[in-house]
Amino acid sequence: MALPDGGTDREPPSGIRSPRDADALERLIERNPSRLGVGRAGPRPTTETLLRFRQDHGLARDAVLTMVDPALIDDLDLVTVRTLVTEKDEYLARPDLGREISEETATSLREQCRVGPQIQVIASDGLSSTAIETNLPDLLPALMDGLAAHDLDVGTPIFVEFGRVDVMDAIGEELEADCCVILIGERPGLGSADSLSAYMVYGPERGAPTAKKSVISNIHAGGLPPVEAGATIADRIAEMCEHQASGLELTEDDREFQK
């Protein structure tokens, strides 16, 4: 029923009373994870909106501040190492320490892992342990199957505590891998605390510029599903190995989807 102000008395799944176009607002809310159409109670958010905000904020904090369950790493049979970071506060304050490993760790990697693989697979908690715990159990097997389907030689999978993206350069250089991929938890937002990204580089070496890296992001149930992501990452790595390039060096003319 239309109201005098042009709105309708049918309320969509939002906090806005008498929206002018309830159908359009409903479609917008369904297609966008942002906080749209939440409405107000006077000058303040509604109670439901405020409670949901606090819940999402708590999930985001937990994702950053908690550690990945060691049992998961054992179940996935990953070799565990740590960056130069010693504890969580230092990790947040010193990103540079999360990009490098000690000489002792490098020696341990060479002893525990195969040296000289085509592909080195790495996982790291990064800024969201929740992303690893939620996505890695499905993503890693799909990725390994995809790499095997491309007949690529994969080294010993590794888990890095307190890792930043560029730690894959140090590990890949030490293990003499042709290509490295790191599956890492991304900085959580108030819409998703479990988003994971895959960063890839051909010819890993310390100090490699960001432009040399390829990335597939937004991997989670509400974005790119982890099983599908595993196959997509494997296809991208196969392209990188074929053209011996990654990031901006892998031009659009080289990409399979352009052919």
pLDDT in tens, 98-110: 999 999 999 999 9
Res 14: pLDDT: 56
> What is the rounded CA–CA span in Å between residue 113 and residue 108?
8
Length reported for the chain: 259
Around 221, how many Cα atoms within 13 Å sit in the side-chain half-sphere? 9
> What is the rounded CA–CA span in Å between residue 40 and residue 252?
47
Res 33: pLDDT: 72
Least-confidence region, from 7-21, 62-76, 225-239 = 7-21
- Model confidence at 254, pLDDT cuts 50, 70, 90, reads low
Sign of the torsion angle spanned by Cα atoms 199, 203, 206, 211: negative
State yes or no: pLDDT of 67 exceeds 80.
yes
- Model confidence at 4, pLDDT cuts 50, 70, 90, reads very low
Share of the chain above pLDDT 70, in %: 89
| Helix or strand holding residue 121 (H, E) | strand 119-124
pLDDT in tens, 129-186: 999 999 999 999 999 999 999 999 999 999 999 999 999 999 999 999 999 999 999 9
- Model confidence at 190, pLDDT cuts 50, 70, 90, reads low
